[in-house]
Amino acid sequence: MCTHKVLLALAFACGPAFAAGPNLGTPISRAELAAWDIFVLPDGTGLPRGSGTMAQGAPIYAQKCAHCHGEQGKGGISAALVGAPPIKSLDSPKTIANFWPYSTTVFDFIRRAMPWQQPRSLTDDEVYALTAYLLALNKIIGEQDVMSAQTLPKVKMPNRDGFIPRFPEKMPPGPEREM
């Protein structure tokens, strides 16, 4: 009788999944995940604290980005980051200003992947500053605008509505399927 109660309590505490499979994963807390949990969604979910401006971004860009992307984002051994050449054909260059649909992707990609030789070496403030610098050079935000978790998701990119899914039936329900 006593044993029965203990088993029942165990099963209740661990839930049905515990009984079924190999259960060789280890539960992980949000704090333990923090260093990897950097993903930013278009609505701003996942953006960290901090902020930055074009003025703060300019010297960081000159020191850490211009080597590949050219002065003021004009392009070098890597793609130009400034400019919106018209999209005329399928092989037109896709730039932040003429193509990227979400401002959050600029922040997310700089933070996860840049600079090329030392990804994740920038502080969150530096990533905000570089994001502000590139968006302002592209005249998508004003030169004085401060980018932060509150302001960045509100920046509407020029080409936000320029996309359609190839096979809508393969898309989960949501606005992306209806485009």
Partner 1 sequence: MDKYVPVAGNGLLDRRAFLRGGAALAAAMTGYAIKPAAAETLSDPEWSNEPGTLVPPYGVPSKYEKGVVRTLSNPNAEPRTQHARTPHHRLQGMVTPNGLHFTISHAGNAEVDPERHRLAIHGLVKRPLVFTLDSLARYPMVSRFTFVECGGNSAPLFSPEPIQANVQALHGLASCAEWTGVKLSTLLEETGIDPKAKWVVAEGADAPRLSRSVPLSKILDDAMVALYQNGERVMPGQGYPMRLLLPGWEGNMNVKWLRRLQLTEVPGMTYYESRTYSQILPNGKAYRFYFIQEVKSFITQPSVGLAMKAPGFYEISGMAYSGNGRITKVMVSADGGKSWAEAALQEPVLSKAFTRFRIPWQWNGGPAVLQSRAWDDQGNVQPTRDEIVAHRGVAARVPPVLGFPSQHFNGITSWAIDAKGEVRHVYA
92/144 with CB nearer partner 1: 92
- Give yes or no for residue 80 binding partner 1 (CB under 8 A): no
d(Cα 138, Cα 82) in Å, to the nearest integer?
5
* Sole residue written with tokens 């502080």: 123
Task: For the segment 109-168, give every residue that binds partner 1 (CB under 8 A).
Answer: 109, 112-113, 116-117, 119, 162-167
Closest approach, Cβ 1 to partner 1, in A, equals 31
53/69 with CB nearer partner 1: 69
d(Cα 166, Cα 15) in Å, to the nearest integer?
40
User: 147 vs 61, 72, 107, CA distance in Å?
Assistant: 16, 19, 10
* Cα angle 97-103-109, degrees, rounded to a multiple of 5: 100
Q: Any bridge partners for residue 147, and if so which? A: 52
In the 8-state DSSP scheme, what is residue 156? B
Q: Looking at 105, 125, 151, 158, which residue binds partner 1 (CB under 8 A)?
A: 105
- Give yes or no for residue 22 binding partner 1 (CB under 8 A): yes
- Give yes or no for residue 104 binding partner 1 (CB under 8 A): yes
2/86 with CB nearer partner 1: 86
Closest approach, Cβ 72 to partner 1, in A, equals 19
Length of the chain: 179
3/15 with CB nearer partner 1: 15
Cβ-contact 120, 63 below 8 angstroms: no
Return the C-alpha torsion angle 96, 98, 101, 103, nearest 10: 40
- Give yes or no for residue 24 binding partner 1 (CB under 8 A): yes
Q: Which residues bind partner 1 (CB under 8 A)?
A: 15, 17, 20-30, 32-33, 36-43, 68, 77-78, 87-92, 94, 99-102, 104-105, 108-109, 112-113, 116-117, 119, 162-167, 170-174, 176
